[in-house]
Chains A and B, each alone.
Chain A
Amino acid sequence: MSVFIIRRLMQSLLVVVIMSFLVFMAIYQIGDPTDLLVSPDAPQEEIERVKRDFGVDLPFHEQYFKFVGKALQGDLGNSFVMNDPALQLILQKMPATLELAFSALFLSIVLGIPLGVYAGLRHGTFSSKLIMSGSILGFSLPTFWVGLMMIMIFAVYLGWLPSTGRGETVEVLGIEVSFLTWDGLTHLFMPALNLALLKISLVIRLARAGVRETIHMDYIKFARAKGLAYRRVILLHLMKNIMIPIVTVIGLEFGGLIAFSVITETIFAWPGMGKLIIESILLLDRPMVVAYLMITVMMFIVINLLVDILYSILDPRVRLQDVKS
């Protein structure tokens, strides 16, 4: 196990290096932020000064090596727009995004799995059909549309929930969280549900598909025949076997939740790193974009590692040594 983890971490290092190169190249392609940032009536010398200060006047390889040199010392550069260290800006915003993503994940699991299992077990009934139709609706509508509709209905017309922003936060272990205050919870609910909607549908479908497949398996029939309680069969034997695709997908989707929280955060003015990054992209704030991507890559690596380890726990047939040649 530990050999496996060490090996994976080594590979991950390589991934980070390759990634930094690709990201840098992509960003380089997009263009020079100077035109966008400098006041349009600025004289040429001012434009050249800014290019020099930002280091975008250098050829690609020089820019890249300069970046790598600094990155090795833990410095991912300063934001062109905000002048603060990019890493610091992103890490500052990360708790808000993680809170949102975890809440969405939580919602998709506690709503998705029971509904999906129920729909699978009661296949063909009206309630099952209702759940499945609901799940189809869940991913049929674009997130941004649903988000705005939610604001319209719950904040503007009904006035039940606050429209935008993050509520009162309290500090727990040095991290600002909002889900422990009533104000924070009311602010969190809509964006979390908005972000979770697609995932809930996905989990419902996966759970239902898993149940429908597994229920016909001999070992389930056998367990039932042995006289085991229905509840026990479902909870233990069936759940264990349908969890594999669900864990994979949830693991994958968690990274997706973070990356794609940009939309939800933009609509709900949620002060997370997704909102930060989309604004940085629109302003071509290169150091921010590179730093954000580096951080998400590392998060993905960790998530994937955890998913693989979980795999081996859930299904002994998959062995971690597989990765070795």
Chain B
Amino acid sequence: MKLMKPIIGLAVAMSFGVAAQANAQELRVGLSAEPSSVDPHYHNLGPNNAMAKNIFGRLMTQDESQRLKPDLAVSWKPIDDLTWEFKLRQGVTFHDGSPFTADDVIFTMERAPNVPNSPSSYSTYIKGKTFKKIDDFTVHASTEEPYPLMPADISTVAILSKKAAEGASTADFDSGKAAIGTGPFKMVEFVKGEKLILERFEGYWGEKPEWKTVTVKPIKSDPSRVAALLAGDVDFIDDVPTTDVANLIADPNVAVSKKVSNRVIYLHMDQFREETPDATGNNGEKIKNPLLDVRVRKAISKAINRDAIVARVMEGVAIPAGQLLPDGFFGRSENLSPEPYDPEGAKKLLAEAGYPDGFKLKIHGPNDRYINDAKILEAVGQMITRIGIKAEVITMPRSVFFGRASSGGPDKTPEFSLILVGWGSGTGEASSPLKSLLATYDKDAGMGAANRGRHSNPNMDEVLKQALATVDDGEREKLLAKATELAIDESLGIIPLHYQESVWATRKGLTYAGRSDEHTVFYTVRTAK
């Protein structure tokens, strides 16, 4: 017992010492989701990709608005239809002091698609490409078909040090042994579910971050995360809930940053079954699938008051959507705008389609995936009920929802008739949602992988195919815009509702440059001038 006293005394002194040290050199962060690993090739997942940006460099990196800018490659260009050339940056060193060369790139591209037990690998971005070292600072990548998305694909892959990562397992990264990159921060310690500590890399080739150390704590619960910021326990949080945005903006001790994200929230409707499970007549009798009729889909779109959803449910933290990507993104159509709220027009269209008295419809969505997802679905339910489509709103956790929405029906078909989902374009351009959500479902060709409504418009498929083979940026952008117009305006394959806005908050005196890819990185957190 006598021994304990000095120990406790010492511990108390130590803990006070630590508290006193929390100064301008340290950034304390509360994140809504932590990475599942710091191995940047293990899991293609938002939090992992975001964390990797702090530790690892890429050949090209996406800036706040997902435009490509040079990172470890100083330039990239197609040298013929099938080959791209990447000129690498010279004089860059890894965290362990070894130099960065083409060998590291070749090694990275070999490892990235082949990480054992990866829950979602990067093979999608690397498959079908051959990488060749030309000299120490030149790499060629070739494909068998013209492939315009080469730079976008390559920009997703974090570059590893061959010396440190050869033969390393995912666990070696989490222990810090193999987590050697060229990024602005070095990894110090990662205790899953508890903390992740980074330290400034003094040998970083670019602009060095302000923070000597960064301590990251996962705080999943929204109100708790906000409370941690308000209580001064952390300096920086991500995923600020919409309900708190207005207050935090008004709070003099807090600074808020917002950025429209690449994620569109939309409704997907069963467009392939003659009889759809969730739609019944007004007396519960079986009816033909009304959603097959584009007029019914149009009616639903007109019935939705997007401004009301944005203003009321999202508390202003979203932007009404009329297509797949918000302003400023590549491949967006200039001719599409959000469908205006027109309940009378909607009723007329319903009557024309043969449903003057509407029908009954169960609508489904997740309740823990997108910002305010369940409340949005409820508002949609209210709005379509007002034009005669008597809605029953069913929400469920994403663990249950996505499996059923993708393959819960007979023969692994999508189970539901109308769902609320979202799509973020990782590459920051329109081919991603077009290919995955709207192209005719073709398992083997990798088209329509997330086309849960099985929308099919051959005209659009044709234009999209052309776009995906056009290397010229200007030409491709026009084709993507055309494909978008066909899918939305002509066949209304999905009903876009709004684009999410991502919100971050810092304590007073700091700023963060919000990112459209929803990623939270620490090197752009700065002291306000």
Contact = CB atoms under 8 A, between A and B. Distances in A.
Interface residues of A, number: 60
A170 B116 CA distance: 36
B44 interface: yes
A86 to B, nearest CB: 12
Interface residues of B, number: 66
Nearest to A266: B221
Interface in A109-136: none
Contact of A82 (B12, B15, B36, B218): B36
A39 B427 CA distance: 13
Interface stretch (B74-82, B374-382, B443-451): B443-451
Given A35-B406, A41-B124, A80-B119, A164 B15 contact: no
B39 to A, nearest CB: 8
A184 to B, nearest CB: 7
B18 interface: yes
B446 to A, nearest CB: 4
Report which residue of B36, B37, B397 has the largest number of chain A beta carbons within 10 angstroms of its beta carbon: B36
A32 interface: yes
A69 interface: no
B11 interface: yes
B459 interface: no
A156 interface: yes
B195 to A, nearest CB: 8
Contact of B19 (A180, A183, A284): A183
A156 B230 contact: yes
A18 interface: no
A166 interface: yes
A44 B449 contact: yes
Contact of B11 (A33, A80, A168): A168
Interface stretch (A46-54, A58-66, A310-318): A46-54
A50 B221 contact: no
**Interface of B: prevailing SS:** mixed
A233 interface: no
B356 interface: no
Contacts of A36: 398-399, 402-403
B50 interface: no
A175 to B, nearest CB: 15
29 contacts: A31-B399, A33-B119, A33-B399, A37-B43, A41-B432, A41-B436, A41-B449, A42-B120, A43-B124, A43-B446, A44-B449, A50-B119, A81-B36, A81-B43, A83-B36, A83-B37, A152-B227, A156-B230, A162-B233, A163-B228, A164-B224, A164-B233, A180-B8, A180-B11, A181-B12, A184-B15, A268-B224, A269-B218, A275-B193
A155 interface: yes
Contact of A46 (B124, B218, B233, B406): B124
Interface of A: 30-33, 35-46, 49-50, 53-54, 78, 80-84, 89, 92-93, 148, 151-152, 155-156, 159, 162-168, 170, 180-184, 266-269, 271, 275-276, 279, 281-284
Contacts of B37: 82-83
A276 B193 contact: yes
B49 to A, nearest CB: 10
Given A82-B192, A93-B193, A155-B231, A53 B116 contact: yes
B444 A41 contact: no
